[in-house]
Amino acid sequence: MKHQGKPPEGNLTSWKEFVLLGFAEVPQLQWFLFGLFFVIYMIILLGNGTILVITKVEPALQTPMYFFLGNFSFLEICYVSVTLPRMLMNLGTQRRTISLVACATQMCFILVLGATECFLLAVMAYDCCVAICNPLQYPLVMNHKVCILLVVASWISGIPVQ
**Helix %, strand %, coil % of the chain (to 5):** 75, 5, 20
With left for phi above 0 and alpha for psi between -120 and 50, is residue 143 left, alpha or beta?
beta
| pLDDT tens digit at each of 162 positions of the chain | 556 666 566 666 666 777 766 666 677 787 888 899 999 999 999 999 999 999 999 988 889 999 999 999 999 999 999 989 988 888 888 777 778 888 889 999 999 999 999 999 999 999 999 999 999 999 999 999 999 999 999 999 988 855
pLDDT of residue 8: 60
Is 55 in contact with 104 (CB distance < 8 Å)?
no
Domains of the chain: residue spans and CATH:
27-158 (1.20.1070.10)
pLDDT of residue 52: 94
Residues in the chain: 162
pLDDT of residue 124: 94
pLDDT of residue 162: 53
